[in-house]
Each structure stands twice: as structure tokens, then as C-alpha cells.
């Protein structure tokens, strides 16, 4: 039998300090990727879900979680990846959205990605808040973003696609 010295909320708080490797301004909890922590006699199990199926950051995040738990002497620990329910930008907290905007990334505007998100004409520029923006490229530097430009302040910016 194993006794873990921390409670579930404490472990969640601890893991919530891990940044998203690709957008370090938000953490994995705010992104909605950290789904749960299960403390049992078998040890500590962290439930994680990927944003996109090919998300290359998953390996890094798993390493970060295990390293952090080891440092806090939480053992045995393991990370389980689940796909169901499928990750959606709806799970992103308001706090995370605000952090993205301040970082220069326009947060997802639609409440759900299933309909109508391909003709997003209402993306606000994260720099000047103008609605006079247009899409430059549907795909961006990472799977979760597309490229926009603002015709008011003339700045290019990234938009976190609703998904």
C-alpha cells in the first residue's frame, strides 16, 4: 500500500504550474488538458488529454508532470492519456483567454467549434481591439492557431482557432 502525502486538490494546484510548452503564458490546467488526478492506494495517476491528435507537445508535458511529481516525492506516479471526451476550446478558462489576448494571441471566439468557425469575420485584434481584421492563413505556427492581420493597427497576429 502506498500513501501519497498530498491531497488531490494539492496535486492539481502543483501541476497547474506547468506551462503549455508551445504557449508558455498559459498552463496545462487553464488549457483544459489536465483532466483529473486520481490518488489511490496504487499511487498518483494524472489524466491528460491532447488538444490535437498529433500534438507534439504531449511528450514534453508528460515528462514535465513526472519530473515535477518526482521532485515532490509523489510516487509511484503515472500519466494516462484519454481522448474521450474530445478536447475543445470551450474548456479554456476566461482567465486563460485573457492571458492569451495580453500575450498577443486572439482567443477563440466561438463557444463551440462544430459549426460556423471557418468564416470567422469577427475576430478582434488582440493589440488594438479593432474588428477590422482578416485571415491571412488558416494554419499557423502550431496546429491550434491561424494567422490574421489587423487593418486598423496594421499588426499581424495569431488567432487561437475554436476547436
Partner 1 sequence: MTEQQALYNYCIHLGDNALIQSYRLSEWCSNAPILEEDLALTNMALDMTGRAQLLLQYAGTLAGKGLTSDDLAYRRNEPEYRNDLITELPDADFAFAMVKQMFVSTFEYFLYSALKASTDSNIASIAAKSVKEAQYHMAHTTDWVVRLGDGTDESNRRAQEAVDALWPYTAELFETDDTEAMLTAKGIAAELPLIHTRWQNYITGTMLAARLELPANAYHHTGGRKGIHTEYLGHILTEMQYLQRAYPDATW
By the criterion CB under 8 A, which residues form the site for partner 1?
A: 50, 52-56, 82-87, 113-114, 118, 136-141, 143, 147, 161, 163
Neighbours of 92 (CB within 10 A): 22
Backbone angles phi, psi at 119, to 5 degrees: -115, 50
Pick between residue 72 and residue 155 the one whose CB is nearest to partner 1. Answer: 155
For residue 158, the cross-strand partners are 105, 147
Q: Please state the closest distance from residue 144 (CB atom) to partner 1, in A.
A: 10
Pick between residue 114 and residue 130 the one whose CB is nearest to partner 1. Answer: 114
Pick between residue 37 and residue 144 the one whose CB is nearest to partner 1. Answer: 144
Q: Please state the closest distance from residue 68 (CB atom) to partner 1, in A.
A: 24
Pick between residue 9 and residue 54 the one whose CB is nearest to partner 1. Answer: 54
- CA–CA distance, 151 with 163 (Å, rounded to integer): 25
Q: Please state the closest distance from residue 32 (CB atom) to partner 1, in A.
A: 14
- 61's grid cell: 508535458
Residue closest to 79 by CA, chosen among 103, 46, 44:
46
Amino acid at each position: 500500500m502506498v500513501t501519497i502525502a498530498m491531497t488531490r486538490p494539492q496535486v492539481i494546484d502543483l501541476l497547474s504550474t506547468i506551462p503549455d510548452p508551445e504557449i508558455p503564458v498559459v498552463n496545462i490546467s487553464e488549457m483544459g488538458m489536465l483532466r483529473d488526478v486520481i490518488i489511490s492506494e496504487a499511487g498518483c495517476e494524472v489524466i491528460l488529454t491532447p488538444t490535437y491528435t498529433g500534438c507534439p507537445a504531449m511528450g514534453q508535458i508528460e515528462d514535465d508532470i513526472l519530473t515535477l511529481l518526482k521532485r515532490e516525492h509523489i510516487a509511484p506516479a503515472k500519466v494516462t492519456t484519454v481522448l474521450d471526451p474530445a478536447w475543445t476550446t470551450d474548456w479554456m478558462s476566461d482567465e486563460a483567454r485573457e492571458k492569451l489576448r495580453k500575450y498577443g494571441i486572439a482567443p477563440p471566439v466561438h463557444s463551440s467549434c462544430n459549426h460556423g468557425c471557418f468564416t470567422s469575420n469577427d475576430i478582434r485584434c488582440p493589440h488594438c481591439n479593432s474588428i477590422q481584421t482578416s485571415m491571412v492563413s488558416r494554419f499557423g505556427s502550431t496546429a491550434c492557431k491561424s494567422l490574421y492581420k489587423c487593418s486598423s493597427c496594421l499588426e499581424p497576429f495569431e488567432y487561437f482557432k475554436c476547436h
